[in-house]
């Protein structure tokens, strides 16, 4: 097939999430066939992202500015702080447009298996931030998994004593979800979180 440079490009693309060797070959071929329209702009975008995108020193979000656009937006409610595991979760909440407070990205969850302890996450920074700032409520938007909720309880403990509300996301039936297809754990959570109508 192609020379070593093409192979290298295919291998690099195949390492991206969502792409396997076959789709990487298709992407590489498309890039090489349409150099001006696809390849060159991609090279420029990658170079710009590599040079300019950094982690926000305040919240851990990725942006070209530090503090990031979310942290420097004066219209946001500085009293609400939403704690998420990863930048992808922050972006998901931002896509929804439902939350107008600020964020704190932990960088993962406590994990006995992977040896991730509190010192490996941005928990110390969160405690300092909440202790020093104007935060009224911390929303722990962490996964409804054993590791996610273990981390949530750990953070709630660390924030005890500060004059703030610590809350967590609700668990239960997703919108559009049919009971017939739900796992037992979700049904249990939904039953426990039932409300009067």
Partner 1 sequence: MLDWTDDGILLSLRPHGEGAAIVAVFTRAHGRHLGLVRGGGGRKARGDLQPGNLVQARWRARLAEHLGSFTCEPTRAVAAPLLGDPLRLAGLSAALALAEAALPEREPHGRLFDETHGLLKAIGGGPWLGVYVRWELALLAELGYGLALDRCAATGAREDLAYVSPRTGRAVSRAAGAPWRDRLLALPPFLAGGGGATDEPSPADLLAGLTLSGHFLERLVFTGRGHRLPAARTRFIDRLRRSATISSSEQA
Q: CA-CA distance, 93 to 87, in Å (whole number)?
A: 10
Of 21-29, 58-66, 106-114, 132-140: span binding partner 1 (CB under 8 A)? 106-114
Specify burial of residue 108 (Cβ count, 10 A radius: 0-12, 13-18, 19+): middle
44 binds partner 1 (CB under 8 A): no
Of 4-12, 50-58, 84-92, 188-196: span binding partner 1 (CB under 8 A)? 188-196
- 97, 145, 160, 174, 175 from 189: Cα distances, Å: 26, 12, 25, 11, 15
113 binds partner 1 (CB under 8 A): yes
186 binds partner 1 (CB under 8 A): yes
- 120, 129, 130 from 159: Cα distances, Å: 18, 11, 8
- Taking CB under 8 A as the criterion, the residue among 3, 17, 176, 196 binding partner 1 is 17
Of 3-11, 42-50, 53-61, 185-193: span binding partner 1 (CB under 8 A)? 185-193
188 binds partner 1 (CB under 8 A): yes
- The per-residue DSSP string of 68-86 comes to -TTTT-TTS-TTEEEEESS
Instruction: CB nearer to partner 1: give 51 or 113.
Output: 113
- Number of chain positions touching partner 1 (CB under 8 A): 26
23 binds partner 1 (CB under 8 A): no
| Residue spans of alpha helices (H) in 15-143 | 21-33, 40-52, 87-96, 123-132
Contact residues toward partner 1 (CB under 8 A) are 17-18, 110, 112-115, 117, 144-146, 149-150, 153-154, 156-157, 171, 182-186, 188-189, 192
């Amino acid at each position: 097939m192609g020379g070593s440079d093409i192979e290298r490009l295919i291998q690099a693309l195949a390492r991206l999430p969502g792409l396997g060797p076959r789709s990487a070959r298709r992407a590489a071929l498309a890039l090489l066939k349409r150099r001006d329209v696809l390849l060159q702009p991609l090279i420029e975008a990658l170079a710009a992202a590599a040079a300019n995108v950094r982690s926000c020193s305040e919240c851990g979000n990725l942006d070209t500015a530090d503090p990031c656009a979310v942290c420097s937006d004066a219209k946001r409610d500085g009293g609400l702080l939403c704690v998420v595991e990863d930048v992808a979760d922050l972006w998901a909440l931002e896509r929804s447009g439902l939350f107008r407070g600020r964020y704190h990205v932990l960088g993962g969850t406590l994990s006995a298996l992977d040896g991730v302890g509190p010192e490996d996450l941005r928990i110390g920074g969160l405690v300092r931030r909440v202790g020093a700032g104007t935060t009224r409520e911390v929303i722990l938007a962490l996964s409804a998994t054993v590791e996610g909720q273990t981390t949530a309880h750990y953070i709630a403990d660390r924030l005890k004593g500060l004059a703030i509300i610590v809350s967590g996301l609700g668990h239960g039936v997703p919108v559009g979800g049919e009971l017939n297809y739900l796992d037992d754990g979700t049904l249990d959570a939904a039953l426990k979180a039932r409300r009067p109508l």
